[in-house]
Amino acid sequence: SRTLSLAVIPGDGIGPEVIAEAEKVLDRALSGSDISVTKERFSLGAARYLETGDVLTDDDLDAISSKDAILLGAVGGKPGDPRLKDANIERGLLLKLRFSLDHYVNLRPTRVYPGVPSPLSDAGDVDFVVVREGTEGPYVGNGGSIREGTDHEIANEVSVNTAYGVDRVVRFAFEKAQSRRRRLTLVHKTNVLVFSGSLWKRTVDAVGTEFPDVEVDYLHVDAATIFMVTDPARFDVIVTDNLFGDILTDLAGAISGGIGLAASGNLNPAGTFPSMFEPVHGSAPDIAGQQIADPTAAILSVALMLDHFSLTTQAAAVSKAVEADIAERTGAPRTTTEIGDAIVARLTGEALASEPRQEEN
Ligand code: NAD
Ligand code: IPM
Ligand code: MN
């Protein structure tokens, strides 16, 4: 028997609504197994900040760091809310977790599921995964503003790319490609961002010699957005920097039939720190509290978590249950809870006992 300790951060807006469903699915997926989950809930996000002034205390960070994994809904308030101007929840909480826990791989799979109305009339067989670097790039916050607020202001953002950081994420991406369709696309903007672009390109070339059976391709990020719309089936594994990966994965969510389907794992592959699983979407203040958010992304993030713990049977059962649910999404719109319940109902003893498919995310 095995115990998994989990930090649950429901967060703001639709976060608690979708996490409630994700937890139900997790509990059901592990019921009848010899794995027990202990959960500790952390009230973090814009709501906590407005109440207490805390963004992420050292005590909370320590407690979260001691867990086996983190399940997070979404954090952040309504974009532009003046009360949150000084808090910077995104940097002080979400990015702080990703950076402190060394989540250098941000894994974001995309599939166009049969039956889902994609905005693309003929998407083809879309099944790719974006390996987004998670701890470097323009996200490091290594910039500043000179003469702020004057006509002579100069605002700089610095993108940090280290040989160590690029090598480890590129290596992960090659390994991922090798376990899939053996096709890796580096996405960057080497024609303009020449220094970091050169490091990424040289790293992919060098690591690629160790993976001779993986076919390597390169696209500038602007062109990558074209192909993601016109021919997304061409992609298998995309490796890219933190910011390009952020943008491409919202686009990927949209073409797959909605951001409510897009799951992600912030991975620390070595297991030194707990990995964190969360939907790609945010707190969606525009639809919060109405039970209309799609919990699928949060539920598929649970599947990624199960995979991370090598619980492949359970992970595959959750993915299959989601797939079956999605295939029948034609009737009247359902509430967040109804979707969660329908997916839980598909996780029968039989579904949980079957062999996993020979497939990976
Ligand atoms: P958002 O992803 O919250 O919303 C964008 C649009 O997608 C909205 O119209 C929303 O209603 C819709 N949407 C999002 N999730 C949905 C779901 N599950 N089902 C149905 N529709 C869904 O992005 P935003 O509006 O730019 O950001 C809102 C807040 O969330 C901001 O504070 C932002 O910083 C934060 N944010 C947090 C995370 C995170 O915690 N991981 C991620 C992205 C944004
Ligand atoms: C995401 C979000 C975050 C990011 C923000 C909220 C910091 O957009 O998880 O995609 O940019 O990584
Ligand atoms: Mn994003």
**68 assigned to some structural domain:** yes
Ligand with smallest separation from the Cα of 247:
3
Instruction: Specify whether 222 is catalytic.
Output: yes
Same domain, 26 and 59: yes
**38 assigned to some structural domain:** yes
Q: How many domains does the structure of the chain reveal?
A: 2
pLDDT in tens, 249-278: 999 999 999 999 999 999 999 999 999 999
108 known member of a binding site: yes
**β-sheet bridge partners, residue 254:** none
User: What is the rounded CA–CA span in Å between residue 103 and residue 200?
Assistant: 19
**113 assigned to some structural domain:** no
Secondary structure of residue 190 in the 3-state scheme: coil
**79 assigned to some structural domain:** yes
pLDDT above 80: residue 354: no
Same domain, 240 and 167: yes
Same domain, 55 and 3: yes
Tell me the pLDDT band of 189, cut-offs 50, 70 and 90: very high
Same domain, 224 and 179: yes
**Which residue's C-alpha comes closest to atom 1 of ligand 2?**
280
Ligand 1 surroundings by CB, under 6 angstroms:
14, 18, 74-77, 79, 90, 94, 259-260, 278, 281-287, 293-294, 297
CA 13 to centroid of ligand 1, rounded, Å: 9
**List of residues 6+ apart from 248 with CB closer than 8 A:** 130, 132, 187, 221, 224, 225, 228, 238, 240
Same domain, 32 and 64: yes
Same domain, 250 and 293: no
Output the pLDDT for position 230.
96
Tell me the pLDDT band of 361, cut-offs 50, 70 and 90: very low
Of 255, 283, 312, which closes a domain?
255
| ipTM for the assembly | 0.98
Tell me the pLDDT band of 116, cut-offs 50, 70 and 90: confident
**267 assigned to some structural domain:** no
CA 282 to centroid of ligand 2, rounded, Å: 8
**220 assigned to some structural domain:** yes
Same domain, 97 and 200: no
**262 assigned to some structural domain:** no
Residue of 232, 272, 259, 227 lying closest to 135 (CA atoms): 272
Same domain, 305 and 239: no
Same domain, 184 and 209: yes
278 touches ligand 2 (CB under 6 Å): no
Output the pLDDT for position 351.
81
Residue of 356, 344, 325 lying closest to 260 (CA atoms): 325
pLDDT in tens, 169-187: 999 999 999 999 999 999 9
Same domain, 150 and 249: yes
Of 229, 255, 281, which closes a domain?
255
The total number of residues shown for the chain amounts to 361
**188 assigned to some structural domain:** yes
Residue ranges making up the domain that contains 351: 1-102+272-361
Same domain, 137 and 250: yes
pLDDT above 80: residue 15: yes
Of 205, 226, 255, which closes a domain?
255
Query: Which residue type is seen at 1?
Result: S
**pTM given for the model:** 0.96
CA 59 to centroid of ligand 2, rounded, Å: 24
Tell me the pLDDT band of 143, cut-offs 50, 70 and 90: very high
Which atom of ligand 2 sits closest to the CA of residue 264? 9
CATH number, domain of 317, equals: 3.40.718.10
